[in-house]
Chain A
Amino acid sequence: MKKYSGFSLFKNALSYHENWQKLWRSPKPKDYYDVIVVGGGGHGLATAYYLAKVHGITKVAVIEKGYLGGGNTARNTTIIRSNYLWDEAAQLYELSLKLWEGLSQELNYNVMFSQRGVLNLGHNLQDMRDIERRVNANRLNGIDGEVVTPERVKEIAPLINISKDCRYPILGASWQPRGGTARHDAVAWGYARGADALGVDLIQETEVIGIRRKNGSVVGVETTQGFIGSRKVACVTAGNSGVVAAMAGLRLPVESRPLQALVSEPVKPCLDTVVMSNAVHGYISQSDKGDLVIGAGVDGYNGYGQRGSFHVIEHTLQAICELFPAFSRVRMNRQWGGVVDTCPDACPIISKTSVDGLYFNCGWGTGGFKATPGSGYVFADTVANDHPHPLAAAFNVDRFNTGALIDEHGAAGVAH
C-alpha cells in the first residue's frame, strides 16, 4: 500500500491524478480462512483490521453481500459521543472515542473526524435531573461533559430558540465538547484499505446463505460463490443479524426496524455543532458540504424495507422547526431508511454463542456508528482469543437470561 502524503498528492498531480493506487484488491475467495467476518460495514471492516493489526491474524476474509460500507454505514447521521450513563456502556463508547481521536493518523486516511461538540437538550425538570445524573456519571468515568444553561446553549448554537414561550422550552443541556461527527464512508474505506494492506481479503457481492456446522462447531459458510471453510465465523450484520442467526438455528433478542434520516439542500455554514433532543425527538448537524443532516426515529414495527413511515419524519421536522425556527424555510433534499437491530436494553451484543466458533456483534440499534472503532477493537479481541474482551464481557448475549441488562434507554433512547 502506498502511503498518502503531501508528496504523493504532488507527485500524482503531475500525472493528472490518473495513477492513484486502488484502495483495495478484489480477490477470489480462498478455500479456507482463519476467520471469516460476515458483513462489510464499518464494524465488520474494523473487526478485520484489528484482527490483522493487533492480533496478527491476517488470513481473514470479509464477506459482503453488496458493496463495502453500503448499508447502515452509508445511512447514519455520523454523530459521535460517549456520554452514556452506565459504566459498561460509557467505557466501551469512550474507548471508541479515543480511537476516533487518532484514527486518521492510524489509518493514513482522512476520516474527517470533527470534534465540534454535542448538545443533548433538556425540556423539562425530569430531563434536567437525568442530564445532571448522566453528566456526573460521565465525569466519574473520566468522560468530559458539563451541564449548561439555556444562555450557554444559545452561545454554542446561536440559531436555536431558547424562548420560554414555546411548547417545549429548552431548560438546559449536557455538553460534550469532545463529541462530534466523522465522514461515514471514509471510515469504512479507511478500515478497508488498512485491512487489505495487512492481507485481509475483501470479498464483495457475495452473500452468505448458510452456516455449516459439525458437532456443534462452525466449519465454514455457504455463499453465493460456494463453500468457504473457517473455524471462526464472526457475524457483524446489523439489521440482518436475525436472518444470519437463523442460519445457525439461533434466535437473538433483537428486532429489526427501519430508522430514517434526511438531508436538506446545502446552505451556508449556520450550525457548527451537533444538537440532539430526546424529548422532542430530533437531532441535527451540518455537514461540511452544507446540508443539514437530520435524524428521525425508528418505525413502530419490524421491517427490512430500508424505508420508513412518513409520519415519523413529520414528527421530527416539527421538533427541528421548533428548535430552529430559521430552518422552517429550508427544503429537504433526500430521505432514506436503514434497518437497525434494536435490543431490549438499547445496548449491543458482543458475544460468543452456543455454537463453537460462531460470534455475534449486533444489536447496536440506532447508534452504532459512533462505536465503529471500539466495536471492531473489542470484537476482534473476543474472536482472536475465543474469550470476551474485558470491555465486551458485560455485552454477552447471556445477559438476557441472567437479567444483567444495561439499560441505556435514557442516554441512547432513540436520539443517537
Chain B
Amino acid sequence: MLLIHCPHCREDREEEEYSYSGEAHIVRPLEPEALSDQEWGDYLFFRKNPKGIHHEMWYHAVGCRRYFYATRNTLSYEIIETYKVGEQPQVSAQGAA
C-alpha cells in the first residue's frame, strides 16, 4: 500500500484514494488535425515506461479531486516528490535538478 502525499490537500493518504493517469508532462497537441498518423499515435499510445525514476500523473479521486504529478521509482516504489500541475520536478533520472 502506497502512502501518497497530495500537494493540494497537503496530507499523506492511502493509494486507494487515488487513481493513476500514467506518464506526466505529455502535452496535448494544440492542433491535433495537423498531426500525421505517426505523431498522433505516438502522442496517444507510446510511453517511456522506465524502470526507475518516473514522472507520472495522479488524481486524488476521493479527496480533493484534483490532478498532480509525482516522481516515483518504479522499481522500489519510493515516492520521491509530489508537485502541482504547472510545476517542474526537483528530481529526474539524471539526478536532482
A residues near B, CB below 8 A? 240, 242-243, 246, 251-256, 300-305, 309-311, 344, 400-403
- Please judge, given known A-B contacts A242-B49, A251-B46, A254-B47, whether A300 and B20 are in contact too, CB under 8 Å: yes
- The chain B residue sitting closest to A307, CB to CB, is B77
Q: Which of B1-52 contact A (CB under 8 A)?
A: 1-2, 15-16, 19-20, 22, 37-38, 40-42, 44-51
Chain B residue total in the interface (Cβ 8 A): 27
Contact B49 A303 (CB under 8 A): no
CA distance A310 to B56 in the complex (A): 21
Q: Is B60 an interface residue (CB 8 A)?
A: no
Whether, in the assembled complex, B75 has its beta carbon less than 8 Å from a beta carbon of chain A, the answer is yes
**B15, A309: Cβ atoms closer than 8 Å:** yes
| Extra A-B contacts (16), CB below 8 Å, given A252-B46, A252-B47 | A246-B50, A251-B47, A252-B49, A253-B45, A301-B56, A301-B72, A302-B54, A305-B75, A305-B77, A400-B41, A400-B44, A400-B45, A400-B46, A401-B37, A401-B40, A403-B41
Count of inter-chain pairs, beta carbons less than 8 A: 75
Q: Which B residues fall within an 8 A CB radius of A? A: 1-2, 15-16, 19-20, 22, 37-38, 40-42, 44-51, 54, 56, 72, 74-77
Are A302 and B37 in contact (CB-based, < 8 A)? Answer: no
B21 to chain A, nearest CB (A): 9
Give the residue name and chain of the A residue nearest to B75 (CB): A304
Please state if B37 and A255 are interface contacts (CB–CB under 8 Å). no
The answer for the CA separation of A303 and B54 in the assembled complex, in Å, is: 10
Chain A residues lying within 8 Å of B41, measured Cβ to Cβ, are 253, 400-403
Report whether A344 and B45 are in contact in the complex, using a CB–CB cutoff of 8 Å.
yes
A255 with B49, Cβ < 8 A, contacts A301-B20, A305-B77, A401-B41 known: yes
Q: Are B48 and A401 in contact (CB under 8 A)?
A: no
CB pair A300 B19 closer than 8 Å: yes
Assembled-state Cα–Cα distance A253/B74 (Å): 17
Which B residues lie within 8 Å of A401 (CB)? 37-38, 40-42
